[in-house]
Structure 1
Amino acid sequence: MLLRIFTEPQEGATYDRLLQVARRTEECGFDAFFRSDHYQVIARGDGMPGPTDAWLTLAALARETSTIRLGTMVTSATFRLPGPLAISVAQVDQMSGGRVELGLGAGWYEREHASYGIPFPPTAERFARLEEQLEIITGLWRAPGPYSFSGEHYELTDSPALPKPVQDGGPPIIIGGVGRKKTPALAARFAAEYNVPFHSVDETREAFERVRAAASRDLVYSAAQVLCCGRDEAELARRAEAIGRSPEQLRTDGLAGTPSELVDKIGQFAEAGAGRLYLQVLDPSDLDHLDLVASEVLSQL
């Protein structure tokens, strides 16, 4: 089981804060640093000092780290045109020496689209655009020469299909969600990894089974869970309060408790088929949290 750190900077985090988290992620021996791709606070607080752009952040972190994987959980297809996105991700892959992964989704948070003037089509159209984006991005990365595409929403004519990523075939694509039809079909066609965010072990297992039934090849299966760990109940309660949750809620809906409790629940996700677990860190100022999980949880896996 690989553990990855997953941040939500739209809730309030500067680039300097994210750099601290990424460096500590690497120092502690976690597999990767991921971040959300949002432009507005979702869960709590006022979001001060405001959002940071996902791919600008990852480009900078690519030069400030050396071993951890870097990626988005997940980039919204509504935010960027597929051609420029393919260029950005390929460039960050080059800057990192081939350590980038692209989580890509249809987009869902209507409020941030309205706030920043981003079109927000109906659900069916967003998924149609996502499918075309996946085909275009992977096509641009893999094309041996000029690349063209004609779809309902995007058209490319004789693109030079440059630059190329460092990773052969392009950075791994991650597709997440628990949709019963479209999501398994997209994951089976395009993804190297399928992720189930913030669901129970049983729900995660069922979602994995749907994708396995749709896929004719091997994928990596992963899950994301809110992280809250404490050596004792007092420390756990302090960390839960800092993110506006209760220990009881987090034990049910997240990955929370003492180190031994976390190890046990991680084992349940492993038995369900997960090979990676994304630990959602909602208080990026608490670097001691990462130290604790690395020393007393990661060391047991």
Structure 2
Amino acid sequence: MEIGLMVEGQNGLTWERWLHILALAERLGFPTLFRSDHYFIGPQQDSLEAYVSFAVAARETSRIRFGPLVSPVTFRSPVDVARMAAQVDLLSGGRFVMGLGAGWNEAEHRAYGIPFPAIGERFARLEEAIRLMKALWSEGPVTFEGKYYRVEGANLLPKPARGRPPILIGGSGERKTLRLVAKYADEWNAVNVSPEVYAQKVAVLERHCEAVGRDPATIRRSMMTFAVIGPDERTLDRATERMMTMWGAARPAMGGQPGMSLAEYRAVLRSRGMVVGGKEEVLEALGRYAEAGLQEVQFQHFLFDDDTVPEFLAAEVVPAAKGL
């Protein structure tokens, strides 16, 4: 079991903090550092543009894999995404991961004037975009005639470092997302599901793989989690307060109730399958995920001004998780 980090780039992330987190991830030996690709979720705050930040990551790090968890297909032309991804991958020496999704946050689309089609069209666009991007990364020139995207004689140069970046698809929807994972993804990233639910999703993915004639073992399996973890009660309290602030506005169902204590709110999060607690609780959860075939967990680092949780993970959890 590998342990990585993830940050929400729209939640007040500044250039100073991004540079610090990049150096921190490298120093502590994390294999991956992913970030979200959003304008905002909930209150509008400082929000670093994802692909500019990836170019910085390519130059400021030398070892970690990085990329978006995930880029909505609605935000940009797949031609532009393919071009940026190829150049960031080349700049980083082949460490970029192309995370893609259909998009879900209607509020940010509406605020910034971005079309937000119905869910069926968004997934159709995602599939077509993946096909087009893979074609553009191959030997050109390329002519592509799709329902939503077209190119004629396009030779995207320079090419990526490794032929193409690995494609990661994020989400756990059984009918659409996992079907696309089986057809196209090098990596599947689930989002914050319990070990029991994760095992059910694995079974669905395996059925989709059987339908398209693919060995499910060829798909890397990772998960991003909104865990409330730390080495002591003070750290858990800070993380809980931050979670209540974030989710109270962005996800009211997870925001807790008025007057609820921090300990009571942690109990609510735990009841919803989240990883909550110290080293023993984290390792117990990781063991159950490992039994279901999960290979990597990216813990969200949402206290940008406090290195306690990444240092706790690196010192106490990572060594023990190697045996899972």
Give TM-score, length-normalised by structure 2.
0.87
- 1:164 matched to 2:171? The reply is no
- Asked if structure 1 preserves the Cα contact closer than 8 Å seen for 2:41 and 2:105, the reply is no
- Alpha-carbon distance, 1:256 to partner: 2.0
**3-state DSSP of counterpart to 1:284:** coil
User: For 2:25 and 2:275, how far apart are their aligned partners in 1?
Assistant: 18
2:185 corresponds to: 191
CA contact (8 A) 2:231 2:309 kept: no
Which amino acid in the other structure matches residue 306 of structure 2? D
Instruction: Measure the CA separation in 2 of the matches of 1:108 and 1:239.
Output: 25
Match of 1:205 among 182, 199, 218: 199
**CA shift at 1:283, angstroms?**
1.6
> Number of residue pairs matched?
295
Please say if residues 259 and 297 of structure 1, whose CA atoms lie closer than 8 Å, have aligned partners that are also in contact. yes
Task: State whether residues 243 and 283 of structure 1, in contact with CA within 8 Å, keep that contact through their aligned partners in structure 2.
Answer: no
Separation in 1 of the partners of 2:143 and 2:300?
38
Bigger mean CA deviation after superposition, 215-224 or 87-96: 215-224
Structure 1 stretch displaced more, 59-68 or 181-190? 181-190
Partner of 2:12: 12
**Gap regions ≥5 residues in structure 1:** none
The RMSD of aligned alpha carbons is 1.4
| Aligned equivalent of 2:26 | 26
Identity %: 37
The answer to whether the aligner puts 1:111 opposite 2:81 as a matched pair is no
Q: CA deviation at 1:248?
A: 1.9
Residue by residue, what CA displacement relative to the aligned partner does 1:5-49 show, whole Å, maximum 9, x if unpaired? 01112121112212211211111111111000000133xxx443x
- Partner residue, 2:242: 242
User: Given residue 148 of structure 2, which amino acid in structure 1 is its aligned partner?
Assistant: H
Which residue of the partner structure matches residue 60 of structure 2? 64
Three-state SS of the structure 2 residue aligned to 1:189 is helix
Amino acid at match of 2:206: R
Shift in Å at residue 209 of structure 1? 1.5
> How far off is 1:84 after superposition?
1.1
Secondary structure, in 3 states, of the residue corresponding to 2:144? strand
Asked whether the equivalents of residues 169 and 188 of structure 2 are also in contact (C-alpha less than 8 Å), the reply is yes
Number of the residue aligned with 1:180: 174
Give, in angstroms, the shift of residue 286 of structure 1: 1.5
Letter in 2 for 1:15: W
Deviations 1:106-128 (A, max 9, x none): 11101101111111111111111
Provide the residue aligned with 1:222 in structure 2.
222
The reply to whether residue 258 of structure 1 matches residue 252 of structure 2 is: no
Contact 2:230 2:308 in 1 (8 A): no
Q: Deviations over 1:72-123 (max 9, x none)?
A: 1000100110111100000000111110001100111011011111111111
Secondary structure at the aligned position of 1:138 is classed as: helix
Matches of 1:15 and 1:127, distance apart in 2: 33
Q: Give the aligned partner of residue 122 of structure 2.
A: 126
User: CA offset at residue 141 of structure 1?
Assistant: 0.9
